Each structure stands twice: as C-alpha cells, then as structure tokens.
C-alpha cells in the first residue's frame, strides 16, 4: 500500500559520524538475519519459526529476552524503572505471496544491490535495522531513556496476538518508533481505521403494487448523508476524515421490494475526532443501524516539536501524514512511523529492499537516537 512518503533525501552532515567499521558490522549482521527471516515462512499467525530465529539472534549476543506467543521483546542492559522508556517495534509476519511472483518468495536473492524475498521490504528491513540499532545501544550506561525492542506478530491482519498482547507486559512507554517502510522519512501522523456495518430496514412487498417500504431507498439517503462531508475539521497532516461505502447488498428477486439493505463503510479517521465521536455522530444522523467491527485501530500522531522528530529533521528527513495503518494504531503514546524501504513495494510480486537502504536505516536510527539518548 502507498503511504505518500516524500522522495528520498540525503543524510544531513551535522551529526557526529559513526565509524565505518561499526556500521559495516551492524549492517552485515542485520542483512544476515533478514536473509534467514526471508527463508523462513512467517505468514500471519504462523510466525513461530521466525520468532525462534529472533530468539537465537539475541541468545548469541547474550541479550536476555522474553517471548509471548510469537512476540519477542527485550530491553537495554542498564534498564532503570525511574527513567522514561522508548519502544522500538516492527513486525515479522508477512502477507501471503501473490500469484505474480516470478522468483521464489522464500529464497533470499541478492542481485544488483537489491535483496529479494517476501517480507524483505515490509517490514523485514525495518525490523533488522531496529534490532541492530537496539544492539548498538544495548550495553551503554547513563542513557536518558530505557529502550525496549519488540519484534511482534500478526501486524498484517491487525491480530490480537501481536503487539496488543504484550503491551501489558511492557513497562510504561513514553514514545515509540514503529518500523515501516517510509524511506526513513518521518510519518508523524497516521490515519485510524473504522469499519462500520450498517443495516437499513423497511418492509417487503410486491413490486407491481404500491406496497412495501423499500430499504434500499433508506440506505441511499443515509449514504448521501455520509458522503456530504459530515466531519468538517481537517487535520493539518492527514487532511479530512475519509468515508467510503465499499459494499452494499439488498434484495432477493426483481419483483420483491426488499425489507433489508446492508452496506459497509470504510472510515479513515484523523486525530481531529475520536473513533467514538465518529460513531456517535453517524448514529445520530442516519436511519440505519450502525455496528463498528472494532474501535482498536485509532489515529496516531507525535508533535512536530518532539525531540525525536526534531532529531530526524536535523538529519534532512521530511515529515508527512500516512493514510495507511500499522501497529502504531494500538499505542496510546506519541509514536513515529519510520523505516528503510519504500511502501510502494509492499505486498507486491518480487518484493525487494536495497541493501544500501538497510545500511542507511541503521545509521539514521542511531544518529537520531544519539541526539536524545
């Protein structure tokens, strides 16, 4: 899915440079882990083997960790409960490969500076870059923040046994970086998702006579109201709330006036309204009954003046609002969506990430965090 990220820009030059050796070592370890993740199928709800690979990665570095279902998480060596905590998070599940793949989706292939494989771009490159960043800071003393690294499951299906499951186990989170492919630009806001199942009721009758009460006509009136811009407040980063009627069903045969018409509304919410406010407003203004499928996937944002955003902007990163959802929607703290790779490659045949994007991702993550840690 596209996320309207800005075009790529070079890294700023104001920050203290990393040593070439340390960055090279971190990048090599990250790419090796990514290749093993690609070679291990990890469809949503089937991530047990990639979770085991991540466990192995931490064990080899003598980093204690915890695992709940297929979620693996750990924190920095000198964790101090008195300090605020930063969460680094990305997911290791993937969608199913589509039929258009010309390569083996589970065979990591390096070619012309690219690494091909299912999940390489979404979000394997982000995950291994964040893990490398966590390892860079793991045993440093006197950090201003604690760091929690969480590699989680079921993101691609918005499942309940991913990040949402382990949040109660984590320490209180003050802010988070969620790894999704943004070309390392800064998605400082993300739309929430609300799916509404609506039902208009009428009365059945014979179409040849003046009888019955056509439910379709009631649904049409309700849909007309939904498309009349009922939420006027506009987000400076995400624009207006977007409502789309995506499914409609009614009737059983041509000569029967239908007594029921159902339709589904896809709502992309902004931080200007809570999901509860949107539901309440719709219920007050349409005749149809309205049933939300979930109110879990909330809009999210982080202030432009937040130190992590300012740190990214100092490195020539641009800010923007993302219309697509991620595990960011499950967090109640300020959160930034940022990672190597390009959203337009996600869920596509012959998915890939440039190897240089992983190196740049690790470098930028570290440089951003150095300014606040």
Chain segment 2-55, per-residue pLDDT in tens: 345 665 443 333 344 444 447 889 999 999 999 999 999 999 999 999 999 999
Specify the fold of 192-292. Answer: Alpha-Beta Plaits (3.30.70)
One-character DSSP codes across 103-167: S-TTS-EEETTEEESTTIIIIIHHHHHHHHHHHHHTT-SS-SSEEEEEEES-GGGT-TTSHHHHG
Q: Residue 323: which pLDDT band, with cuts at 50, 70 and 90?
A: confident
Partners of residue 320 on adjacent β-strands? 187
| pLDDT of res. 6 | 61
Residues written for the chain: 373
Residue range 349-368: mean pLDDT, rounded: 98
pLDDT at residue 22, as a whole number: 77
pLDDT at 23: 84
- pTM to 2 decimals? 0.87
Mean pLDDT score of the chain, rounded to an integer? Answer: 93
pLDDT in tens, 271-289: 999 999 999 999 999 999 9
Phi, psi of 151 (to 5 degrees): -100, 115
Q: Could you state, in order of their start, the residue ranges of all structural domains in the chain? A: 23-190+299-371, 192-292
Nearest CA among 249, 244, 252 for reference residue 261 = 249
What phi-psi label fits residue 160: left (phi over 0), alpha (psi between -120 and 50 degrees) or beta?
alpha
- Tell me which fold the domain 23-190+299-371 belongs to: Aminopeptidase (3.40.630)
CA distance 297 to 191: 9
| Confidence at residue 17, expressed as pLDDT on a 0 to 100 scale | 45
Contact yes or no for 323/94 (Cβ under 8 A): no
């Amino acid at each position: 899915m596209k996320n309207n990220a800005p075009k790529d820009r070079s890294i700023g030059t104001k920050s203290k440079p990393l040593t070439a050796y340390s960055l090279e070592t971190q990048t090599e370890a990250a790419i090796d882990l990514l290749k093993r993740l690609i070679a291990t199928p990890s469809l949503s709800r089937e991530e047990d083997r990639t979770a085991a690979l991540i466990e192995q990665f931490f064990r080899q570095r003598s980093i204690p960790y915890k695992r709940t279902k297929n979620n693996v998480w750990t924190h920095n060596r000198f964790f101090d409960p008195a300090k605020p905590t930063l969460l680094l998070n990305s997911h290791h599940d993937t969608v199913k490969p589509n039929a258009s793949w010309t390569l083996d989706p589970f065979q990591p292939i390096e070619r012309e500076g690219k690494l091909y494989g299912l999940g390489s771009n979404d979000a394997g490159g982000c995950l291994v870059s964040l893990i490398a960043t966590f390892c860079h800071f793991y045993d440093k003393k006197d950090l201003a923040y604690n760091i929690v690294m969480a590699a989680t499951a079921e993101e691609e299906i918005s499942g309940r046994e991913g990040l949402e499951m382990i949040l109660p186990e984590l320490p209180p989170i003050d802010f988070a970086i969620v790894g999704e492919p943004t070309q390392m630009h800064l998605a400082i806001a993300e739309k929430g998702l609300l799916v509404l199942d609506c039902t208009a009721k009428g009365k059945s009758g014979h179409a040849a006579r003046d009888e019955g009460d056509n439910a379709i006509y009631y649904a049409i009136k309700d849909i007309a109201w939904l498309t009349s811009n009922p939420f006027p407040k506009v987000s400076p980063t995400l624009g207006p709330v977007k409502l789309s009627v995506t499914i409609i069903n009614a009737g059983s045969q041509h000569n029967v006036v239908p007594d029921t018409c159902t339709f589904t509304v896809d709502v992309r919410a902004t931080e200007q309204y809570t999901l509860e406010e949107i539901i309440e407003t719709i219920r007050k203004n349409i005749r149809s009954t309205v049933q939300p499928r979930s109110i879990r996937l909330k809009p999210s944002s982080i202030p432009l003046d937040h130190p992590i955003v300012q740190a990214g902007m100092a490195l020539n990163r641009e800010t923007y609002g993302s219309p697509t959802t991620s595990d960011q929607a499950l967090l109640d703290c300020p959160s930034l969506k940022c990672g190597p790779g390009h959203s337009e490659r996600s869920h596509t045949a012959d998915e890939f990430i440039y190897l240089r994007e992983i190196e740049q991702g690790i470098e930028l993550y570290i440089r951003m965090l150095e300014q606040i840690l």
